Each structure stands twice: as C-alpha cells, then as structure tokens.
A and B are shown apart, each in its own frame.
Chain A
Amino acid sequence: MAKIVVVTSGKGGVGKTTTSAAFASGLAMRGYRTAVIDFDVGLRNLDLVMGCERRVVYDFINVIQGEARLQQALIRDRMLDKLFILPTSQTRDKEALTAEGVARVMDELHGEFDYVICDSPAGIETGALRALYHADEAIVVTNPEVSSVRDSDRILGILAARSRRAEEGKEPVREHLLLTRYAPRRVQGGEMLSLDDVKELLRIPLLGVIPESETILQASNQGIPAIHMKGSEVATAYEDVVARFLGEEKPLRFVQPEKPGFLKRLFGG
C-alpha cells in the first residue's frame, strides 16, 4: 500500500522538481520502493533533473491511453535500484491527463510501491489538480517571497477543497511546508521573510528549510538529484527533510547566517 505524496506550490520555479527528485531519492536511499511521477505534461523536466532523459521510451500518457504498460514506462534510477521514474509526455497537452486514466495508474502503483511522489506542474489547472487529487500528504514548496507565499496559500485552499480526501470526506491531506532558497543573511538583514514569518502566514507544520545554494545548479547541470551532492548543505538539508518526514526528530540547520568577518561586518557585503 503506497502512500501518495504531492510536491506542489502554485508558483513556478520555486523548486518542485528539484525537491521531488531529491525527496524521492532520499526515500529510496532509506530502502523504500519509490516511484516519482512527472505531471507537467508538455514541459517535461523531471527526467533531465534525474539524468534519465535519454532512456525515456514510453511515458505516463502512453500508459494512460493504453499504448504501453506501466512496467514499460517506468525507468529504473541509475543510482538507486528501489527508485523508479515515470516521465511525462513532451508533446501532448494536459487534457491527456484524464481523471480515470490517472486513477488507474495510481491504483496500479499502489500495490507495487511504498511511496508515490507526484511532481506537480505550476499553476492551478488540470495538471496541478490531477497531481494533488490522490495525495495523502502534500509538500508545499515555498520561497520566502510574497508571490510564492500567496500562491502556496491558494494551493492549500485547493488541497482542502478539491483533493480526493476532501471530496470523500476523509481525513484531510497532511500538509508540510518546505521553505526553499532560504538566505539566512538576508533574513537577518530584514530583506527576506523569515522562516517564522512564513510559518505564521501559512499556518502549516514545517518540514524543512533548504538554503539558497549554487549546489542546486551544479546538480541539475549533471542530472544528479541534489541529495547525492555529498557534504553539501543542500544534500544534508534534504536528508533531514526525509528523516523528519519519516517521523525522526531533527533540529533545523542552515537557518542562521555564518558569522561574517570583521571587514564584512563593517562595510556590509
């Protein structure tokens, strides 16, 4: 019986795909059979971020339309043998994601995996709605920035009203806040919303904070999920996120600025 987790945000470019790749990898590193699905039909990118773009033969839409079996479309990860990627179509449009088709694929994945991670597209249209519909839990990826916080709040409203759990009157989707691109020095300087500000505004439990870092670009350049960038702050932060998700206690890291040198303190930086 798989647990279904949607990675969503409303706003684009906040780190949904980066997070989906890292989080799914982290679960597989812990030994869980994990599938990660790209719901961004027409703007496929999870395959690139996970470095399997040249191994895509069949995709999610082929499976929905009965042109391929699920087993043919799932791509085994290069690094982790418990991790599978279900890429989406680059050529069709979002209408191909039929409610029944998605339900059928989810049903089939349910028996095979421990976790199914749904990488949502930006926006609040078909792709995003289908991605969140089956979710048991939601990771709401948010940047400490006004438009991202507002869009996250909107997505929280949609999770509460339009998910399957909401429609069937079941226990609501469990929501987690993941704050990404966090720059503690800018927070200290009063130029960036703090972690406490965002928590207070969105009123959902915090799963973790990913610091702003060059490592993310280095990882996506090479098609390596950021959690594999050993020793980096970002990888450590994602490992902590996975641990907290699994119920372990982990204190927050990388939320305080590093102590600046004397000259920097005097003149700013």
Chain B
Amino acid sequence: MSFLDYFLGTRRKSASVAKDRLKLILAHERSDGTPDFLPALQEELLAVIGKYIPVDKDQISVNMERRGDYEVLELNVLFPDQH
C-alpha cells in the first residue's frame, strides 16, 4: 500500500476479510460428520425425557459446535409452565 493510499484510505485490507471468512467456514466444515447423528439423538432424548415430563418436539434442541480445541454438545429443553 502506498503513501497516497494511506491518506486517501482507498484500500480495504482484503486479507483480513479472507482470514475471517476462512475461520468460519473451516470451523463449520471440520465439525462435518458429527451433525448426521444429531436428529436421531434428538429423537431419542425426546423419547427418554417424554417418559417423565411431557415435552414437545420443538421444545428440545441439540447442537454441536467447536470452541477452540473442544467440541461442545449443547442440549436445550424447554419445560412446560406447569412443572
């Protein structure tokens, strides 16, 4: 980047845009392979929890994500008001 570019502020740093985009897509693609079992896991968890507490299918969500070197399995169950 030249001296003039610096003053005119004409050039955006495209390399940092590239890096950010790659970070996101690689994290997503590296976790590939794991999500295939998530729907089945969700079904089974619903069946087990449903034995004790009545819950709807849309009140339970299962997610997997990568945080740094860890994979985090996140399970959210929304219980109905009466319990």
A residues with a Cβ closer than 8 A to B are: 145-146, 149-150, 153-154, 157, 187-194, 197, 201, 264-269
Given A190-B14, A191-B14 in contact, is the A265-B19 Cβ separation under 8 Å? Answer: no
Lowest 10 CB-CB distances: which A-B pairs, in order?
A268-B2, A190-B13, A189-B1, A197-B19, A190-B15, A146-B18, A266-B3, A153-B26, A193-B15, A201-B22
B50 to chain A, nearest CB (A): 36
Considering only CB atoms and an 8 Å cut-off, how many residues of chain B contact the other chain?
19
Residues of A contacting B51 in the complex (Cβ-Cβ under 8 angstroms) = none
Q: Are A190 and B23 in contact (CB under 8 A)?
A: no
B36 to chain A, nearest CB (A): 15
Q: How far is it, in angstroms, between the C-alpha of A267 and the C-alpha of B11 when the chains are bound?
A: 14
Classify the secondary structure of B's interface with A.
Answer: helix
Q: How far is it, in angstroms, between the C-alpha of A87 and the C-alpha of B30 when the chains are bound?
A: 35
Q: Are A197 and B30 in contact (CB under 8 A)?
A: no
Q: How far is it, in angstroms, between the C-alpha of A267 and the C-alpha of B18 when the chains are bound?
A: 26
The answer to the question of B25 belonging to the interface, with a C-beta cut-off of 8 Å to chain A, is yes
Q: How far is it, in angstroms, between the C-alpha of A211 and the C-alpha of B19 when the chains are bound?
A: 20
Residues of A contacting B3 in the complex (Cβ-Cβ under 8 angstroms) = 265-268
Q: Are B13 and A153 in contact (CB under 8 A)?
A: no
Total cross-chain contacts (CB, 8 A): 58
Given A190-B14, A267-B4, A268-B2 in contact, is the A153-B30 Cβ separation under 8 Å? Answer: yes
A10 to chain B, nearest CB (A): 12
Q: How far is it, in angstroms, between the C-alpha of A150 and the C-alpha of B30 when the chains are bound?
A: 10
Residues of B contacting A194 in the complex (Cβ-Cβ under 8 angstroms) = 15
Residues of A contacting B1 in the complex (Cβ-Cβ under 8 angstroms) = 188-190, 268
Classify the secondary structure of A's interface with B.
Answer: helix
B residues with a Cβ closer than 8 A to A are: 1-5, 11, 13-16, 18-19, 21-23, 25-26, 29-30
Q: Are B15 and A149 in contact (CB under 8 A)?
A: no
Q: Are A268 and B5 in contact (CB under 8 A)?
A: yes
Q: How far is it, in angstroms, between the C-alpha of A146 and the C-alpha of B18 when the chains are bound?
A: 6
Q: Are B11 and A190 in contact (CB under 8 A)?
A: yes
Residues of B contacting A268 in the complex (Cβ-Cβ under 8 angstroms) = 1-5
Could you list 23 A-B pairs, sorted by A, with CB under 8 Å? A149-B22, A150-B26, A150-B29, A153-B30, A154-B29, A157-B29, A157-B30, A190-B11, A191-B11, A193-B15, A193-B18, A193-B19, A194-B15, A197-B18, A201-B22, A201-B23, A264-B2, A266-B4, A267-B4, A268-B2, A268-B3, A268-B5, A269-B2
Q: Are A267 and B30 in contact (CB under 8 A)?
A: no
B54 to chain A, nearest CB (A): 41
Q: Are B15 and A192 in contact (CB under 8 A)?
A: yes
Q: How far is it, in angstroms, between the C-alpha of A153 and the C-alpha of B31 when the chains are bound?
A: 12
Residues of B contacting A264 in the complex (Cβ-Cβ under 8 angstroms) = 2
Residues of B contacting A192 in the complex (Cβ-Cβ under 8 angstroms) = 15
Q: How far is it, in angstroms, between the C-alpha of A149 and the C-alpha of B29 when the chains are bound?
A: 13
Residues of A contacting B4 in the complex (Cβ-Cβ under 8 angstroms) = 266-268
Q: How far is it, in angstroms, between the C-alpha of A150 and the C-alpha of B25 when the chains are bound?
A: 8
Q: How far is it, in angstroms, between the C-alpha of A2 and the C-alpha of B4 when the chains are bound?
A: 56
Most chain A CB inside 10 Å of its own CB: which residue of B16, B22, B25, B30 = B22
Most chain B CB inside 10 Å of its own CB: which residue of A145, A190, A265 = A190
